């Protein structure tokens, strides 16, 4: 019964996040398509409307509420995180990177348009994320100092010391065998950094105390790594129809993954262990873990 209730809570949170973020980004895509104009504006609007599960947004909403936040203005902060994630997907799909034709069941941006347009659209999404963050902070009546700290957190996570750096290491590692510690370093940057930032930004938006922020940070570190391990398992076990993108790409590119190093069962056990560890950080920090714990369970048991 507890597992069923937790699953329902995660489903509700994800649905709420999708509805709020899809509406907000849909409005912004129309505005920016006109504002920028031409093929670049169309490509940017297309990229911004990339559908998704909105796990990062749901984590941010749950973190915000877990430390007392209650304003609907938080959607702007969540949309900023999802926009940074969208930028990473556009560039990750390019021929010079993973060279994917499909993303979440539709043509990737460079297939729908062309490589130069997709490359520019990815870069343009970064300032769009900054604008969304500023609008969200204003709706939450946060101070300029708070906005500055949030921007530092988000763009540090999305930059060379986080997501971009992790992607670089991931490309360098293709067709090379990595140790487990090296693989963890790749995953914590490529996928984990922005997930961690989503959790921290939720706390910052609610002006949480230092102990609570530390608990959310540690939660985000563990669940970000668990998310990528679950992705490794899905790439090895799922179908292209289930994933909305080509399955088996890790094996095709001869990437080191948790599945390669630990086997499917071992990788699943490690993801589950990290999910439990993530929740324990919240408990020690005195942060209510109900909603975040439900999302942690979803992350390591999802089928797509």
Distance CA 47, CA 29 (A): 9
Write down the pLDDT at residue 303. 85
Write down the pLDDT at residue 2. 46
> Domain of 63: which CATH number?
1.10.600.10
Mean pLDDT (whole number) for 25-34: 97
pLDDT at residue 226 greater than cutoff 70: yes
Structure-model confidence comparison of residues 98 and 199, the more confident one? 199
pLDDT at residue 253 greater than cutoff 80: no
pLDDT at residue 154 greater than cutoff 60: yes
pLDDT at residue 238 greater than cutoff 80: no
pLDDT at residue 4 greater than cutoff 70: no
Structure-model confidence comparison of residues 261 and 256, the more confident one? 261
156 touches 189 (CB < 8 A):
no
Query: Average pLDDT, whole number, for the chain?
Result: 93
Mean pLDDT (whole number) for 117-130: 97
**Residue 252, Cβ density class (10 Å: 0-12 exposed, 13-18 middle, ≥19 buried):** exposed
pLDDT at residue 243 greater than cutoff 80: no
Count of domains in the chain?
1
Strand locations in the chain, DSSP E?
Answer: 102-103, 106-107
- Parent domain of 249: 2-301
pLDDT in tens, 66-111: 999 999 999 999 999 999 999 999 999 999 888 889 888 899 999 9
207 touches 70 (CB < 8 A):
no
């Amino acid at each position: 019964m507890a597992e069923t209730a937790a699953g329902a809570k995660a489903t509700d949170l994800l649905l709420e996040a999708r509805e709020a973020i899809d509406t907000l980004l849909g409005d912004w895509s129309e505005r920016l398509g006109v504002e920028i104009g031409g093929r670049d504006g169309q490509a940017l609007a297309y990229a911004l409307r990339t559908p998704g599960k909105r796990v990062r947004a749901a984590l941010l909403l749950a973190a915000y509420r877990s430390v007392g936040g209650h304003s609907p203005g938080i959607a702007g902060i969540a949309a900023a995180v999802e926009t940074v994630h969208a930028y990473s997907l556009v560039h990750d799909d390019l021929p010079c990177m993973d060279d994917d034709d499909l993303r979440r069941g539709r043509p990737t941006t460079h297939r729908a348009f062309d490589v130069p347009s997709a490359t520019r659209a990815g870069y343009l999404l970064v300032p769009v994320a900054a604008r969304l963050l500023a609008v969200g902070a204003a709706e939450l009546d946060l101070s300029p100092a708070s906005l500055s700290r949030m921007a530092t957190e988000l763009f540090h996570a999305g930059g060379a010391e986080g997501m971009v750096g992790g992607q670089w290491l991931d490309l360098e590692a293709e067709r090379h065998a990595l140790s487990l510690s090296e693989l963890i370093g790749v995953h914590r940057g490529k996928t984990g950094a922005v997930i961690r930032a989503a959790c921290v930004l939720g706390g910052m938006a609610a002006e949480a105390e230092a102990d609570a922020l530390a608990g959310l940070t540690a939660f985000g570190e563990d669940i970000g790594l668990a998310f990528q391990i679950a992705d490794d398992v899905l790439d090895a076990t799922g179908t292209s129809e289930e994933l909305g993108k080509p399955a088996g790409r890790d094996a095709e590119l001869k990437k080191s993954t948790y599945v390669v190093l630990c086997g499917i069962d071992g990788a699943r056990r490690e993801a589950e262990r990290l999910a439990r560890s993530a929740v324990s950080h919240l408990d020690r920090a005195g942060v209510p873990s109900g909603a975040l714990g439900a999302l942690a369970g979803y992350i390591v048991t999802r089928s797509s």
